[in-house]
Structure 1
Amino acid sequence: MSTQKNSAPNLKSWLRTSRWLGLVLPVILLVSVLFLILVVLVNLSNKSSQNTFEREAEVQVLEMANLLAEQLELDLEAVEGLGALLARQTEAAFRHSVDLSEELPSAYTKSDRGFLYADQSAEAAIFFSALEERSIEKDREQLLRFHRLEPLLQSIYTGHDLISQVYINTPTSESMIYPWLDVSSQFSPDLDVREYPFFYLADQTHNPDQSAVWMDTYLDPAGRGWMLSLLFPVAVEGELKAVVGLDITLNALVRRMMAMSPPWKGYNLLMAADGTLLAFPPQGIFHWGVRMYPANTAEGRPQLNLLLRPDLRSQLDPLRQDAAGLIPLEFRDEKVLVSWSTLDLTGWKLLLVVSRDAVFSTRQQLLDDYSSLLWQGALSLLAVCLFFVLLVSRRDYKLLQRLATRASSPLAGAKTEVTKVVPAPVDDLLYQLSGPLLICRFDAQGQVLACNKAFEHFAKSSRTALKGKPLAPLLGLTELPQENWVDELDFSSSEHENTIWWVYVAPQGTTGGVVFMLDLTSYSLTRQQLQSERQRSRQAAKMKAEFSQVVIREANSLLVELHQLAQQQTTTEHYQACRDKILAVQRLLDDLLDMSDEGDLLDEKESEQEVLNLEAWIDEARESIAAQLEQQARHLKVNKARNLPVEVITDRRKMTRLLKHLLRQTLQLASEGDLVLGVDWNPAASSLQLDLLDEGGYLLDEERIQRFQASTPLGSNYQPATGGLGMGPLLTRQLVQELKGSLEVTSRPEGGLHIHLELPVSVDEQAQVAQRILVVDDGPVNSMLATSVLEKSGYQVDAASSGRKALELGLEQDYALVLMDIFMPDMDGLETTRHWRQLPGPNAGIPVIALTANALESDRSYFIEQGLDDYLAKPYRPTELRSLVDYWMKKTRG
Structure 2
Amino acid sequence: MVRGMEAAAVSPVPLKKWLWRSYIKAALVPLLLIELGFVGIYWFTSQVVYDRSASALTRISTDTLRDVSVREANIIAHRLQSISAATRIYADETGRALATPAEVSEAEKARHAYSPDGVFYTTRDTGGSAVFFSGVVPIGEAEREKVWRTVRLDPIMKSIKESDPLIAQLYLNTHDSYNRIYPYFDVLDIYAPKMDIPSYNFYYEADQEHNPSRRPVWTDAYVDPAGDGWMVSSIAPVYSGPERLEAVVGIDVTIKTIVEQVLNIKLPGDGYAILVGRDGTILALPSEAESDLGVNELLDHGYEEAILKDTFKPAEFNIFRRSELSQIAIAMQSQPDGVRKVDMQRPMIAAWSTIAGPNWRLLLLTSEDSLLVEATNLREQLSFVSKVMLGILVLFYAVFFAYLWRRSSVMSERVARPLADLEQRMVLISEGNTVPPAPPYEIGELQTVGEHLTTMGDKLDAANRAKSNFLSAMSHELRTPLTSIIGYAELLEISEGRKLEGERMKHVQAISTAGWNLVRLVDAVLELSRLERQDQRLSTSSMDVLPLVQGACDRARPEAQRRDVTITLVKPEEPLPSVIGDTEMLSRILDQLLSNAVKYNVPGGTVKVRFALTSPDAVDLFVQDTGVGIAPDLKADVFKAFQRLGHENGTISGAGIGMTIASRLAEVTGCRLTFDSEVGKGTVFTLRIPRTRQGRVAAR
Q: TM-score range by the shorter chain?
A: 0.3 to 0.5
**Structure with more of its chain in helix, by fraction:** 2
Larger of the two Rg values belongs to structure: 2
What TM-score, normalized to structure 1? Answer: 0.36
Kindly indicate whether structure 1 or structure 2 has the higher relative contact order, using CA contacts under 8 Å at least 6 residues apart.
2
What TM-score, normalized to structure 2? Answer: 0.45
